[in-house]
């Protein structure tokens, strides 16, 4: 990949401020410590004007058509990216792709790229909260649990601090490891993460390295939502007895393995209800439930209302 010097950040309404800031600050500090002005960045939108982040702070943008030098455009998204992405945004991204400009996504920005059909055949990263729903919605893209992904002319990352690590990785070949070390020291970053680093999922954050076997079982559960595995199959794969595994699960997570699995599948179903327009029957199938009545009863017990009301409650 050629050196990237001119960055444009396409701010979507209600974008995630911390993710955007972490990306921009790497460029600023690289210029500051390198005593150059080689990196430039512009905040852009379709027509210019102020764009408010999810925290209510608005930033001034220029119309992207007014920017002359662009090496890469990052779509900066937030929680409601699927609602604020318009046909005009999709058309713009397709035009940029045809012109040979590299495209990226920060936090949920990968959604807009996928919606525009620009991630088909690509591996990409998105915030873990959106991972499952987007895997189901955009089957031609490969959504990864990695913190950030650089796949040919697509550069995508999760939110939070992920953009900081991604940008450091992007500029490293151009500025050299000495300056990268100075930048990480400036940000008080003790450990620089690379493209093989995974997002810290909630369970990992909660348990740390308390029990790798429980981790492995949960990862198998997450990878087998549509066709749930049996307790005996988990025992076979972990080389433990079913009884030992059940006890370990209760001691670590305070619940049975079967109940945790059902709750995980119900959570995935709720994500699909809230983040996609998939028909209810397709969601039921995607989450491994055999009947509508069983799914509806389980959903009501877990969330306090039936799945048929979920979309109405949120949109109302």
Residues 223 and 303 in one domain: yes
Q: Identify the pLDDT of residue 316.
A: 52
Q: Which residues contact 209 (CB under 8 A, 6 or more apart)?
A: none
186, 212, 237 - which closes a domain: 186
Which CATH number fits the domain that encloses residue 251?
1.10.10.60
- Residues 69-99 as b/e (b if ≥16 CB within 10 A, e otherwise) read ebebbbbbbbbebbebbeeebbebbeebbee
Residues 142 and 80 in one domain: yes
Task: Look at residues 14, 15, 66, 78 and name the one whose alpha carbon lies nearest to residue 42.
Answer: 66
Q: Identify the pLDDT of residue 314.
A: 57
Residues of the chain with pLDDT under 50: 205, 209
Q: Identify the pLDDT of residue 207.
A: 56
H-only helix segments in the chain: 17-34, 81-84, 87-98, 110-115, 128-137, 162-175, 177-186, 202-207, 212-223, 231-238, 242-253, 257-275, 280-286, 292-303, 307-315
Q: Identify the pLDDT of residue 129.
A: 76
Residues 166 and 212 in one domain: no
Q: Identify the pLDDT of residue 209.
A: 47
Residues 132 and 214 in one domain: no
Q: Identify the pLDDT of residue 313.
A: 63
Cβ(138)–Cβ(113) below 8 Å? no
Residues 285 and 138 in one domain: no
Residue 197 lies in a domain: no
151, 186, 221 - which closes a domain: 186
Please give the tally of structural domains in the chain.
Answer: 2
Domain encompassing residue 180: 6-186
Residues 166 and 252 in one domain: no
Q: Identify the pLDDT of residue 138.
A: 86
Residues 13 and 154 in one domain: yes
Residue in the structure block whose two tokens are 């050196």: 3
Give the sign of the dihedral formed by CA 144, CA 147, CA 148, CA 151: negative
Residue 60 is classified by DSSP as: E
Q: Identify the pLDDT of residue 100.
A: 93
Which CATH number fits the domain that encloses residue 100?
3.40.50.880
């Amino acid at each position: 990949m050629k050196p990237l010097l001119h960055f444009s950040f396409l701010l979507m309404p209600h974008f995630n401020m911390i993710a955007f800031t972490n990306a921009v600050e790497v460029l600023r500090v690289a210029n500051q410590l390198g005593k150059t002005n080689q990196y430039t960045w512009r905040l852009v939108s379709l027509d210019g004007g102020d764009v408010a982040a999810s925290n209510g702070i608005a930033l001034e943008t220029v119309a992207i058509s007014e920017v002359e030098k662009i090496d890469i455009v990052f779509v900066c998204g937030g929680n409601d990216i699927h609602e604020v992405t318009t046909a005009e945004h999709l058309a713009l991204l397709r035009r940029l792709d045809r012109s040979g400009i590299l495209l990226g996504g920060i936090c949920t920005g990968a959604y807009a790229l996928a919606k525009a059909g620009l991630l088909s055949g690509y591996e990409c990263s998105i915030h873990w909260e959106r991972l499952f729903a987007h895997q189901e919605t955009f089957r031609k893209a490969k959504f990864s649990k990695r913190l950030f992904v650089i796949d040919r002319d697509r550069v995508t990352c999760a939110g939070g601090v992920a953009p900081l690590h991604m940008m450091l990785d992007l500029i490293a070949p151009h500025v050299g490891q000495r300056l990268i070390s100075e930048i990480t020291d400036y940000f008080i970053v003790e450990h620089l993460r690379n493209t093989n680093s995974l997002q810290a999922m909630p369970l990992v954050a909660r348990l740390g390295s308390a029990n790798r076997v429980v981790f492995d079982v949960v990862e198998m559960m997450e990878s087998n939502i549509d066709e749930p595995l049996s307790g005996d199959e988990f025992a076979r794969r972990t080389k433990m007895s079913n009884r030992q595994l059940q006890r370990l699960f209760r001691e670590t997570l305070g619940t049975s393995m079967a109940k945790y699995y059902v709750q995980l599948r119900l959570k995935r179903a709720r994500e699909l209800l809230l983040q996609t327009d998939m028909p209810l029957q397709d969601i039921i199938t995607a989450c491994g439930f055999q009947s509508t009545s069983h799914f509806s009863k389980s959903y009501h017990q877990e969330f306090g209302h039936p799945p048929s009301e979920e979309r109405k409650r949120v949109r109302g």
